[in-house]
A and B are shown apart, each in its own frame.
Chain A
Amino acid sequence: MNWSTTTIAIYGLTALGAVAVYLLLPRAGRSARVAGTLLGLAALAGLVVLSLRSFAIPGSEDFYFYLLAVLALTSAAGVITQRKAVYSALYFVLTVVAVAGLVVLLEAEFLAAALIIIYGGAILVTYLFVIMLAQQEGQPLYDRRVRGGWWACVAGFLLTATVASALSDFLLLAPVVAPPMTVEVANTDRLGLVVMTRYMVVLQAAGILLLLALVGAVAIVRKRYPHLETVERPLPAIGQAGREAAPF
């Protein structure tokens, strides 16, 4: 295997980031938050310098790319290093917004809007709802500390480092050039065309999967009351449904 300096740098910086995240994880005792923050900032700065030196892609959006990428990474670290679950959910929202910004830089506005509407607007509000419902009175001990943090950091380091170095080899071999816009079709139209022609089967399969999940969720939450199901009640007259209790 050919260990180029770039690969070594990527491995080193990712390891630094992993150590930083490990130090930041909430523990029973005191977490080394200052040291973790400093190490994490150093790792981020190193990654930014490395990508500026090695894969500088000319373009005016470079600054925004680095801004949004750093925001996404720091808020993703915030998701797992916060003690309060509500803060974790909020950092998750920030991650989603930053990633949506990155997607906008790739000129995929529809995807960005969908990301914010679905993740930021619906799923994370539901998370927040559940977290708030479950944790009204402080937090139990087992929610305030991390378990298996060491292994999680090692696994995360390995995954990130291998994927990043593989991508960097690919980028070094052939600098990515954005394909020129040949057809004057709006972004959303193109997405629709691709989804409804090339990925039609996948789309249908995803739809069926979601429907099954919905039915499953209803089946799980539905309570059965066998001793009550035999109750016979007279049907109310047409137009009188729900009016059996007089308001006054």
Chain B
Amino acid sequence: MVDWLVIQFHTQLGFSIVLLLVVIPAVLTGVGYSTYFERKVSAWLQDRHGPNRAGPLGLLQPVADGVKFLLKEDFMPAGADRPLYILAPMLSMGIAMLGLAVIPWGGSYQPAGLAEPLQVQVAGLDIGLLYLLAVGALGVYGVVLAGWSSNNKYAFYGGLRAAAQMVSYEIPLGLSILVIVLASGQLRLENIVEQQTALWWGFLPQWNIFLHPVSFIIMFTCVLAETNRAPFDLAECEQELVGGFHTEYNAMKWAMFFLGEYTHMIVGSAFMVCLFFGGWHVPGLAAEQTTLWGVLLQLAVMGAKISIFIFVFMWIRWTLPRFRFDQLMRLCWKGLLPVSLALALVVVVELFFNVPRSYWSLIGEVGVVAVALVAVSLFRIPVTGRQWYLPDLDNRTPLRGGSV
């Protein structure tokens, strides 16, 4: 029996199943502790202590929260659309978790006496990158349906805002990913990671961040918007919409939205780490490690990189004020979209001259930003802020017997 299990473990399918059984609990635990971390980070940024009552340093706080969520009364607002009201949190969390399948967590593992190395990845798809994009594109339905089915005006506006925001930010996100796809010529995430493991001058890892910093900034901004994180959390802004799309949710259904949001953050961070920061690549080591300890080290490095990203997400959330909705739209359509289009064009030119992934990439990216800055300041293009060049439009319709 044990022998049989060992043999099954050394096939890719068995290994993937074991990995799945490890990854899902690990991510869910990570999600639980992200909520703890979020509260601690916000406390540090605001000179407070944060949760410190449940267990040492408040470390049992997520457990206490989980118990509370499960034991709370679970009610449903009158007039809610019952099936969709229940479906929405499930979609929110389920779709976010689908993305975990294609993330290359730790390179490949070569046990002794096995011809083919095992990929430390649940499913190595040919189109892993597009799969992640597709799953991300479906992620908006949870929020939109929650807004619609709650039968609440505030929730409804939250859902509408989420729909408009996610459809808009999907475009620059796709274009900035396209830059990496074109430059590396790959749609498999593990190949993109492998490409970044070489070194320049013997010490600098060939991570894409050094070649395409501007694309990274655009992608980071769009991931913030896609995961509904501040300063793009207009779908749930407390000052205007009570709680936004989750106003009418409580207990475990409410918690599932946040499990979904934090899972989405982890998947998004892993995606960015793979595309721009060399995935599991350990900066000091040149080649891939395929021994057990090497793979564990790479898993740890991947986890550390993801954690840094999640910390930056939280840092931003507790530092920057929220956008106004028209600023959000203008930033996307007039700021990020033209720049990311120009970046994709520059990469195509590099491909034409056969110099992708060289110092020309950096020159191109910086050049596009320089041109954009000059254009914005010379022609006074409003990327955010007011549309000052429009005349004052008075769109108000006079009421009967009144005047505008």
Contact = CB atoms under 8 A, between A and B. Distances in A.
B385 A125 contact: no
Interface string A220-240: 000001001101010110110
Contacts of B144: 125, 128-129, 132
B380 A109 contact: no
Nearest to A116: B134
Contact of A113 (B130, B170, B384, B385): B130
A199 interface: no
Interface in B142-168: 144-145, 147-148, 156, 159-160, 163-164, 166-167
A171 B166 CA distance: 44
Contact of B126 (A90, A109, A122): A109
A189 to B, nearest CB: 9
Contacts of B20: none
A239 B388 CA distance: 13
Q: How large is the interface on A (under 10, 10 to 19, 20 to 34, 35 or more residues)?
A: 35 or more
A69 B378 CA distance: 57
B126 A133 contact: no
B349 interface: no
Contacts of A110: 127, 130
B388 A113 contact: no
A188 interface: yes
A183 B377 CA distance: 52
Contact of A121 (B84, B137, B145): B137
Interface string B93-107: 000000000000000
Contacts of A188: 126-127, 187
Given A113-B131, A114-B130, A126 B167 contact: yes
A126 B136 CA distance: 16
B126 A242 contact: no
Interface in A77-131: 84, 86, 90, 93, 109-110, 113-114, 116-117, 120-122, 125-126, 128-129
A241 interface: yes
Contacts of A129: 144, 160, 163-164, 167
A45 B166 CA distance: 40
B167 A86 contact: no
Contacts of B126: 109, 186-188
B134 A125 contact: no
A186 B382 CA distance: 44
Given A93-B141, A121-B140, A128 B380 contact: no
B134 A244 contact: no
Interface in A192-248: 225, 228-229, 231, 233, 235-236, 238-239, 241-245
B322 to A, nearest CB: 14
A113 B134 contact: yes
B83 to A, nearest CB: 9
A125 B166 contact: yes
B5 to A, nearest CB: 25
A228 B134 contact: no
B138 interface: yes
A248 B112 CA distance: 69
B53 interface: no
A109 B127 contact: yes
Nearest to A136: B156
B201 interface: no
B25 interface: no
Contacts of A109: 125-127, 130
A113 B127 contact: yes
Question: Which of B134, B159, B160, B382 has the largest count of A CB atoms less than 10 A from its CB?
Answer: B134
Interface string A157-195: 000000000000000000000000000001110000000
A121 B377 contact: no
B404 interface: no
Contact of B386 (A90, A133, A186, A245): A245
B1 interface: no
A225 B141 CA distance: 38
B255 interface: no
A228 B393 contact: yes
Contact of A125 (B136, B163, B384): B163
B140 A125 contact: yes
B159 A117 contact: no
Given A128-B144, A231-B391, A120 B134 contact: yes
Interface of B: 81, 84, 125-127, 130-131, 133-134, 136-138, 140-141, 144-145, 147-148, 156, 159-160, 163-164, 166-167, 170, 174, 187, 377-378, 380, 382, 384-386, 388-389, 391-393
19 contacts: A110-B130, A113-B127, A114-B130, A117-B137, A121-B140, A125-B163, A128-B148, A129-B160, A132-B148, A132-B163, A225-B391, A228-B391, A233-B389, A233-B391, A235-B380, A241-B382, A241-B388, A244-B386, A244-B388
Given A121-B138, A125-B167, 5 more contacts: A121-B134, A133-B160, A236-B388, A242-B382, A242-B386
